[in-house]
Amino acid sequence: MVNNAGEQAGSEPIPEIEIEDVFAFSGPAPGRINGQDFFAQISEGGTPWFIRTSILLSVASLVPLFQGVTVESKSDGSMTSDAELWNGRLAMLGLVALVFIEYVKRETLV
Protein backbone atom coordinates (compact mmCIF):
# COMPACT_ATOMS: atom_id res chain seq x y z
CA MET A 1 0.00 0.00 0.00
CA VAL A 2 1.28 3.47 -0.90
CA ASN A 3 0.46 6.57 1.13
CA ASN A 4 0.09 10.15 -0.13
CA ALA A 5 3.81 10.90 0.17
CA GLY A 6 4.68 8.11 -2.28
CA GLU A 7 5.99 5.89 0.49
CA GLN A 8 5.11 2.25 0.84
CA ALA A 9 3.50 1.33 4.15
CA GLY A 10 5.93 -0.45 6.45
CA SER A 11 9.07 0.63 4.57
CA GLU A 12 11.55 3.44 4.92
CA PRO A 13 10.76 6.65 3.03
CA ILE A 14 12.31 7.01 -0.41
CA PRO A 15 15.09 9.62 -0.25
CA GLU A 16 14.49 12.75 -2.27
CA ILE A 17 17.02 13.07 -5.10
CA GLU A 18 18.28 16.49 -6.08
CA ILE A 19 18.94 17.32 -9.73
CA GLU A 20 22.53 18.23 -8.86
CA ASP A 21 23.06 14.67 -7.59
CA VAL A 22 21.68 13.15 -10.79
CA PHE A 23 23.92 15.28 -13.04
CA ALA A 24 26.98 15.18 -10.78
CA PHE A 25 30.15 13.65 -12.21
CA SER A 26 29.55 10.44 -10.23
CA GLY A 27 25.76 10.51 -10.79
CA PRO A 28 23.75 8.28 -13.13
CA ALA A 29 22.98 10.86 -15.85
CA PRO A 30 26.45 11.47 -17.42
CA GLY A 31 27.04 7.78 -18.12
CA ARG A 32 23.68 7.41 -19.81
CA ILE A 33 23.90 10.65 -21.78
CA ASN A 34 27.38 10.07 -23.23
CA GLY A 35 26.81 6.40 -24.03
CA GLN A 36 29.23 4.92 -21.52
CA ASP A 37 26.71 2.30 -20.42
CA PHE A 38 25.89 1.47 -24.04
CA PHE A 39 29.48 0.84 -25.07
CA ALA A 40 30.15 -1.17 -21.92
CA GLN A 41 27.28 -3.46 -22.92
CA ILE A 42 28.72 -3.87 -26.41
CA SER A 43 32.12 -4.83 -25.01
CA GLU A 44 30.43 -7.42 -22.79
CA GLY A 45 28.86 -9.36 -25.67
CA GLY A 46 26.25 -6.93 -26.99
CA THR A 47 27.69 -6.88 -30.51
CA PRO A 48 24.77 -8.78 -32.14
CA TRP A 49 22.33 -6.31 -30.56
CA PHE A 50 24.41 -3.39 -31.84
CA ILE A 51 24.52 -4.84 -35.37
CA ARG A 52 20.75 -5.45 -35.45
CA THR A 53 20.08 -1.92 -34.23
CA SER A 54 22.45 -0.45 -36.82
CA ILE A 55 20.69 -2.34 -39.61
CA LEU A 56 17.27 -1.22 -38.34
CA LEU A 57 18.32 2.45 -38.21
CA SER A 58 19.92 2.22 -41.66
CA VAL A 59 16.77 0.74 -43.19
CA ALA A 60 14.61 3.33 -41.41
CA SER A 61 16.68 6.14 -42.89
CA LEU A 62 15.87 4.84 -46.40
CA VAL A 63 12.08 5.01 -45.94
CA PRO A 64 11.81 8.71 -46.91
CA LEU A 65 13.65 7.96 -50.17
CA PHE A 66 11.01 5.38 -51.07
CA GLN A 67 8.35 8.01 -50.37
CA GLY A 68 9.95 10.45 -52.78
CA VAL A 69 11.34 12.88 -50.19
CA THR A 70 14.64 14.43 -51.28
CA VAL A 71 17.27 16.14 -49.20
CA GLU A 72 16.99 19.25 -51.36
CA SER A 73 13.27 19.56 -50.62
CA LYS A 74 14.01 19.73 -46.88
CA SER A 75 16.84 22.31 -47.13
CA ASP A 76 16.03 25.71 -45.70
CA GLY A 77 17.98 28.69 -44.44
CA SER A 78 21.63 28.29 -43.56
CA MET A 79 21.54 24.49 -43.47
CA THR A 80 21.94 23.34 -47.05
CA SER A 81 21.52 19.77 -48.17
CA ASP A 82 25.27 19.43 -48.77
CA ALA A 83 26.15 20.69 -45.28
CA GLU A 84 23.68 18.29 -43.69
CA LEU A 85 25.04 15.36 -45.68
CA TRP A 86 28.60 16.12 -44.62
CA ASN A 87 27.59 16.58 -40.98
CA GLY A 88 25.88 13.20 -41.02
CA ARG A 89 28.77 11.45 -42.76
CA LEU A 90 31.35 12.84 -40.34
CA ALA A 91 29.18 11.93 -37.35
CA MET A 92 28.86 8.35 -38.60
CA LEU A 93 32.62 8.09 -39.19
CA GLY A 94 33.26 9.42 -35.68
CA LEU A 95 30.89 6.89 -34.14
CA VAL A 96 32.43 4.00 -36.10
CA ALA A 97 35.91 5.14 -35.07
CA LEU A 98 34.85 5.32 -31.42
CA VAL A 99 33.31 1.84 -31.51
CA PHE A 100 36.39 0.42 -33.26
CA ILE A 101 38.82 1.96 -30.77
CA GLU A 102 36.79 0.71 -27.81
CA TYR A 103 36.58 -2.75 -29.37
CA VAL A 104 40.34 -2.91 -29.93
CA LYS A 105 41.21 -1.56 -26.47
CA ARG A 106 38.49 -3.67 -24.77
CA GLU A 107 37.54 -0.73 -22.56
CA THR A 108 35.35 2.33 -22.80
CA LEU A 109 36.94 5.68 -23.59
CA VAL A 110 34.38 7.79 -21.81
Q: Is 45 exposed, middle or buried (0-12, 13-18, 19+ CB in 10 A)?
A: exposed
Over residues 8-41, the pLDDT tens digits come to: 556 777 778 788 888 887 777 777 676 666 767 6
* Interval 75-98 mean pLDDT: 86
Instruction: Return the number of other C-beta atoms located less than 10 Å from residue 21's C-beta.
Output: 13
Q: What is the pLDDT of residue 1?
A: 47
